[in-house]
Amino acid sequence: MKTAKYFFIIFALAFTNIYASSAKPAILPAYKNPTPGEFPILGWYSIPDSASTRQRYNEMREAGFNISFSHFTDNAQISRAAKACRGTGIKIIAGSPQLEASTKESIDSLKQYGEIAGWFLRDEPVVSGFGYLSQFRDSVYAADTTRLVYLNLFPRMVEPKNLGTATYDDYLREFLKQIRLPFISYDMYPVHETGNGEAVLQPMLFTNLESAQRVSREFGVPFWAFCLSTAHTPYPVARAAHLEVEAFSALAYGAQGIQYFTYWQPVSKTWNFYHAPIDKFGKRTDVYYLIRNLNKEIQALAPVFLGAEVISVSHTGKHIPDDTHRLTSLPMPFLTIDSDGPGLLVSHLHNNGKQYLMIVNRDIQNAQKVTLSIGSKKVRQIMPNGTTTKLSTTTPVIEPGRYVLYVWK
């Protein structure tokens, strides 16, 4: 994954339109959460076949993951991974060249494993490849309609003309129209390192979330987003604020899955990957523990975000990210909101008869003091462990990349 990142496009699929099927594909199954009762948290470039043991999958589960995606070379590796993760709470997304070449035979031999959550199609395709991938998808669904079919898309910072459309939103629409999978997944790595070593958050994070949320709502499907957990130029070693602003902003926009690139440090001749959660020697780094803490928090907040409806997402500050909406009104009983920093993300959500207001600090370097005016004493605050408490202050200080979360009926 990410071999092209955001600086060049892989055109290897450009020829595949000639394989476009003229047959009308079957209606596809609706989206089903592959981890019922839990928020889906997936690790890319996960445990390699050489380390495919129950102990390693237990370690991954300890870090708060429930889905693993490794790059398998054949179906025997998929089978070993499915057996190794049995009983650990981890499921796998299965893909291999063998599965693509002999789809029905492969799935028939592998679908016995309840540990398989879904089947992998492709990473970062362009529109010219959608015809072939539509055929591939049909082959998968002909063999198994009970699991997810997984494909990950390019981010918005790629020029639309290189994707094959006039706009990025159209790229997402073409994916849903042609490949017709029941959810959107895309990668976006917004924290870049400058020449002087400073980590800077690119506002494109929010612009891309706007597109994903807009198109997913238009088509009635959810979307999954990414956090970057493995450093490589120009992306720095992940710090808590980097991971948190990516995850909590995605949740504020309604993401129904959080993914990490990567879990295990990849071997690459193209990219200088380093400081992954699990390094190239199979040892935990400090990033492993940052992710473990973050994933524990996400699962504690699953009753808020899993299946939530986003009512509105807005931004405050002198400058707001491109293609986002400036905050002009708040849901009652909230009257006003202000901060002493560059600006906030403000999300209004609804879930299971409850209303939620989430306020995210867009700054990854500095805390922001927020001043709220609330016209009701019935509003309560949700803590990071998922418990609720009476409001202790209307001037909370939000640490870099973090949030405050309120609930009322």
* CATH number, domain containing residue 400: 2.60.40.1180
101 found inside a domain = yes
Residues sharing a CB contact under 8 Å with residue 158, sequence separation 6 or more, in sequence order: 6, 9, 168
20 has pLDDT over 90: no
Q: How far apart are CA 125 and CA 128, in angstroms?
A: 8
Do 314 and 381 belong together in one domain? yes
Closest CA to 394 of 386, 384, 406, 402: 406
pLDDT in tens, 128-167: 999 999 999 999 999 999 999 999 999 999 999 999 999 9
Predicted confidence (pLDDT) at residue 337 exceeds the cutoff of 80: yes
Query: Mean pLDDT, to the nearest integer, of 347-362?
Result: 98
**Where among 280, 305, 330 does a domain terminate?**
305
Domain boundary among 305, 325, 354: 305
Buried b (16+ CB within 10 A) or exposed e, 377-393: eebbbbeeeeeeeeeee
Domain check: are 287 and 333 in the same one? no
Give dist(CA 82, CA 243) in Å, integer. 29
200, 362 in Cβ contact below 8 A?
A: no
Percentage of residues of the chain with pLDDT beyond 90: 92
Which domain, by its residues, includes 298? 14-305
Residue 73 placed within a domain: yes
Number of domains in the chain: 2
Is residue 6, in this structure, part of any structural domain at all? no
Q: Give the end of a domain, one of 305, 331, 360.
A: 305
* Cα-Cα-Cα-Cα dihedral sign, residues 135, 137, 142, 143: positive
263-290: average pLDDT = 97
Same domain, 62 and 152: yes
- 287 and 154 co-located in one domain: yes
| pLDDT at residue 4, as a whole number | 42
Amino acid at 145: T
Q: Is the pLDDT of residue 286 over 50?
A: yes
Q: Is the pLDDT of residue 11 over 90?
A: no
Q: Where are the alpha helices (DSSP H) in 189-343?
A: 204-219, 240-252, 286-300, 302-305
Beta bridge partners of 119: 94, 149
- Same domain for 246 and 387, yes or no, is no
Lowest mean pLDDT among 14-23, 273-282, 294-303, 340-349: 14-23
pLDDT band for 2, please (50, 70, 90 cuts): low
- Tell whether 2 is covered by a domain: no
φ, ψ dihedrals at 243, nearest 5°: -65, -40
DSSP state of 284: B
Q: Examine the domain organization and report whether 290 and 315 are in the same domain.
A: no
Residue 9 lies in a domain: no
Statement to judge: residues 292 and 337 lie in one domain = no
Residue pLDDT, tens place only, 198-231: 999 999 999 999 999 999 999 999 999 999 999 9
Give the CA dihedral 24, 152, 91, 148, nearest 10 degrees. Answer: -20
What token pair was written down for 258?
Answer: 């959080």
How large is the average pLDDT for residues 359-381? 97
* pTM score of the predicted model: 0.94
Measured CA to CA, the distance from residue 181 to residue 159 in angstroms comes to: 23
383 assigned to some structural domain: yes
**Would 5 be classed as within a structural domain?**
no
Same domain, residue pair 129 and 21: yes
| Residues 127 and 253 occupy one common structural domain | yes
Q: What local confidence, expressed as pLDDT, does residue 5 receive?
A: 43
User: Token digits for 225?
Assistant: 């987003």
**Whether 243 and 362 share a structural domain:** no
∠ Cα 296 298 301 (to 5°): 110
105 and 245 both lie in a single domain: yes
pLDDT at 21 over 80: no
- Please, which pLDDT band fits residue 56 given cuts at 50, 70 and 90? very high
> CATH no. for residue 297?
3.20.20.80
31 lies in the same domain as 60: yes
Rounded Cα gap, residues 254 and 313, in angstroms = 9
Q: Say how far apart CA 102 and CA 83 lie, in whole Å.
A: 22
pLDDT by residue (tens digit) across 168-183? 999 999 999 999 999 9
**pLDDT mean over 275-283:** 98
DSSP 17: G
Q: Do 317 and 287 touch, CB atoms closer than 8 A?
A: no
Query: What is the per-residue pLDDT for 29?
Result: 73
CA neighbor of 84 nearest in space, from 46, 56, 48, 60: 56
Please answer whether residues 245 and 206 qualify as being in contact, where contact means their C-beta atoms are separated by less than 8 angstroms: no
Tell me how far apart the alpha carbons of residues 379 and 390 are, in angstroms, rounded to a whole number: 8
